[in-house]
Structure 1
Amino acid sequence: MTRRSGWAWAAALWALFIAAHILVAWLGWVEPNAPRNDVTNVYEPWSAYAIRGQGIVGVTEPWVYPPLALMPMILAQLFTPLLGYQWAWIFVVFLFDAAAFYLLVGGGRSRSRRAAAIFWIVFLVALGPIALYRLDAVTVPFAVAGVLLIRSHPVLASSLLAMAAWMKIWTGAILAAAFAALNSKRRIVEGTLVVSAVVVGIVALGGGISFLFGFLSMQSSRGLQAEAVFATPFLWSAIAGVDGAGIEYDYDLITFQVAGNGVAFLADILTPLLLIAAVALAALGLIAHQRGVSARELMPPLAMAAVMAFIVFNKVGSPQFQTWLIAPVVLWLVWDRRRALPYAVSAVIIAACTHLIYPLFYDLFLQTDVVVITIITIRNLLLVVLMLAATARVAKLAIRHPVPITTLAQVSSDAPPHP
């Protein structure tokens, strides 16, 4: 491909990327159930209180998020006088997205990178306003940049992933996958530790060290959110009229949770199951790496399986969690486009189903409408299938016979692929 045609591709992709952000931001204003309300009712007050010295969540009081989550909320305040807080939030999200998109697309000459860019654009539109009007939207570009740089600049990449993890912990799954799959383990640990030390130091200086991990205890004590994967049987129990089964509102956490026989027990064991799944996947990845499996072959399915485990075994299950799919799919498309295609298509279907559930038909979902519950069941089954398929791929790599010593250095090279 010539440089001119590459730049034409890049220009077209950028136009679509900008248009997608405008469209999805606008949908947040016209679609039902106020998908942008968290920005106005939660993020704006938290950041305003911090700026005015009225209290810093996560430092002067317990918080549901890790402490660095306040950073993008405060950044949006810088543009609020010109744009208003909601559009200022969208502008901040777009700036981060644009930086990662530029890193992805470059000169537009790589077919695999173009495919990954198209996937990101389509996924964004399919998921709708929840893809932008939530804190998770800020972590996505950090994760995308991290996976794109993880082999060429592991310290920088791990720093970006660690920063995202101190906003929403899910990117820790990608960090763990990178540590298991790559040779540059020491540099990955260095980047992670430096960022973590800075965050902990700032919180300690503010006198909030006792609240540093408060988000973990707050999450572990909550019930089973209605959209979570493991909540699906209780939704069908409600439809069947099982006594005590249904959806209830938690006023403390501002979310809907399922009720029914066994819900409390299941909610209690999901977090331990998530930890077990994460450790098992890391162990499988380390085994595969030690047996000489190349990073290009190992890391995409391992990152996908780890992120999917964070979604499937999560008792929260918020619709914006589906944005977590973007980074592992982008990674896989860039490194191995053909093998990644089924995952990319499935991710877009998951996003579209989620959009239908929230915000479009959330009222019917809360009424346990059969059609809407069927949609979320399909969505949740697809999430499980993706996790199992990616895990099976990692397991297959882990149990295959060690490669000959003479080729070990060749297959375990961390040199970037040439898509």
Structure 2
Amino acid sequence: MRLAAVWGCWLATRLIGLLIIVDRFPYPRREEILGDPAIYAEWARILASGAFPEGDVRWQYPPLAAPVMLLPHRLGGDYTTTFALVALAADLVIMWLLTRSRRDGSLGGAWFWTFGIVALGPMSYVRYDLIVTVAAVAALLFLHRARLFGVLAALGALLKAWPVLLLAALARTRRSLHSVAAFAVTCGTVLLVFALARGRAPWSFLDAQVGRGLECEALAATPFMLGRMDDRWGGTIVYQYGSMELVGPHVARVADVLPYLTVVALLAVALLAWRGSGRSWNTAWGCDVAFAAVLAAVATSRVLSPQYFLWLLGLGAVCLAHRRTRQRPAVLLILAATALSQFLYPINWPGLMAAETLETWTLAARNTLVLAATILSLTALAKGPASEPEAQGASPARTPAPAH
């Protein structure tokens, strides 16, 4: 009965989301969210001709993104509608994996994912990131199968680089070497195929990534955005590299520091993971580490586009599929931050661009929630893996962790 309820809620909310995309259900500023699929359609036409859009600084994706962008083009029909249907299929796969792989009969992950997409809004179905999240969720749910985890994590990294951070979930055992080897072989094989077929073009996305500035929604942009309200800062917002970036005093300096801050944050996650990944390692702990690593990277990034919350919603759902997770408080804060993101984009985006008080302070509140979630996440890792008694009285998992 509980399974039927969560599936029924998923179906109802997804139907409404799809109706919004095809303009059959009212939604404020619907046109705002349709800009990206228009860009995807443009790239798909270039890819269909046998080339990569390497001259476009907005192309910031690894080579395996090409077949994903091409798929709606090959399927035919209106590109945006077809892309939304492909994204809906990805959403369905994630939901099926979460309900199939639940621990102790828990549907916490499935419920979280269902309402997480509602919190982010229909934009979820017209963003490429939902497809990437499928590979990441599948990888973590098969963390106990070393080689399969490595292959799935590699496919995710070849779609968009961030799933490489999932390797932090691995235990300190020889068995983890099988995952690393599978990851390396998969990446090497795919990259070699594209290199032989396309030459240098598939790697041009790296140049665009390096050149990005400080996006207006990033955590580090918050003081500048607050300063815009009374002209204390003196800078402005311009469209470049596919997002709205800050230009003005001190921005470049902050943007230059952030990559080093990301390295420091990820080293902190790695240290905490190393301390807790000995004999007491379990799959719940591995998922906790992966969530913390991605959250730390997002919090210290130059860019925090709303679709990045899809990554955190997917990994958070996997964490909540385990009763022994320590990341529950951080995951719930991310859900709240996600809802504020939809309030900002697309619903009140003009107000944020105009430095209106309500929208600017909402951004500050959203980013504060992300920062608090990051701190809570790292604090939870410092406690190490949860033992059975600490897991709120949970009974042993239906699928035990594999021997190492």
TM-score (norm 2): 0.87
Quote the residue 2:156 is aligned against.
164
Report whether the alignment pairs 1:71 with 2:56: no
Instruction: Give 2:329's aligned amino acid.
Output: P
1:51 to 44, 48, 53: 48
Q: How far does residue 316 in structure 1 lie from its aligned partner after superposition? A: 1.5
2:96 to 102, 108, 115: 102
Residues of 1 paired with 2:99 and 2:54: CA distance? 36
Report whether the alignment pairs 1:198 with 2:205: no
Residues of 2 paired with 1:186 and 1:59: CA distance? 38
Structure 2 unmatched ranges of 5 or more:
387-398
Identity of aligned residues (%): 26
Residues of 2 paired with 1:61 and 1:232: CA distance? 25
Residues of 2 paired with 1:63 and 1:385: CA distance? 32
Taking only aligned residues, the RMSD between alpha carbons, in angstroms, comes to: 2.7
More helix by share: 1
Q: How far does residue 337 in structure 1 lie from its aligned partner after superposition? A: 6.1
Report whether the alignment pairs 1:228 with 2:218: yes
Alpha-carbon distance change, 212 to 277 in structure 1, aligned in 2, over 3 angstroms: farther
SS in 2 for 1:248: strand
Alpha-carbon distance change, 179 to 211 in structure 1, aligned in 2, over 3 angstroms: farther
Quote the residue 1:415 is aligned against.
400
Q: How far does residue 148 in structure 1 lie from its aligned partner after superposition? A: 0.9
Preserved CA contact (<8 Å) 1:350 1:382: yes
Preserved CA contact (<8 Å) 2:327 2:377: no
SS in 2 for 1:67: coil
2:352 to 352, 365, 378: 365
Alpha-carbon distance change, 239 to 199 in structure 1, aligned in 2, over 3 angstroms: same
SS in 2 for 1:385: helix
Preserved CA contact (<8 Å) 1:300 1:331: yes
Preserved CA contact (<8 Å) 2:319 2:325: no
Alpha-carbon distance change, 96 to 223 in structure 1, aligned in 2, over 3 angstroms: same
Quote the residue 1:37 is aligned against.
35
Runs of at least 4 residues of structure 1 off by over 4 A?
Answer: 58-62, 107-110, 180-183, 337-340
Alpha-carbon distance change, 248 to 45 in structure 1, aligned in 2, over 3 angstroms: closer
Instruction: Give 1:189's aligned amino acid.
Output: V
Instruction: Give 1:37's aligned amino acid.
Output: G
Q: How far does residue 313 in structure 1 lie from its aligned partner after superposition? A: 0.9
Residues of 2 paired with 1:168 and 1:111: CA distance? 32
Residues of 2 paired with 1:110 and 1:39: CA distance? 39
Quote the residue 2:392 is aligned against.
none
Quote the residue 1:92 is aligned against.
86
SS in 2 for 1:257: strand
Quote the residue 1:394 is aligned against.
381
Task: Give CA-to-partner distance per residue, 1:287-336, whole Å, 9 cap, x none.
Answer: 3223x332245323322221111211110111111111123212221222
Alpha-carbon distance change, 243 to 354 in structure 1, aligned in 2, over 3 angstroms: closer
Preserved CA contact (<8 Å) 1:227 1:317: yes
Instruction: Give 2:75's aligned amino acid.
Output: F
2:280 to 293, 299, 311: 293
SS in 2 for 1:138: helix
Paired residues, number: 386
Preserved CA contact (<8 Å) 1:161 1:171: yes
SS in 2 for 1:64: coil
TM-score (norm 1): 0.84
Alignment of 1:12-411 (within 5 A): 12-28=5-21, 29=23, 30-32=27-29, 33-40=31-38, 42-53=39-50, 55-57=51-53, 63-81=59-77, 84-106=78-100, 110-112=104-106, 114-151=107-144, 153-174=145-166, 176-180=167-171, 184-208=175-199, 210-250=200-240, 253-290=241-278, 292-296=279-283, 298-336=285-323, 339-397=326-384
Preserved CA contact (<8 Å) 2:165 2:293: yes
SS in 1 for 2:318: helix
Instruction: Give 1:14's aligned amino acid.
Output: W
Preserved CA contact (<8 Å) 1:60 1:207: no
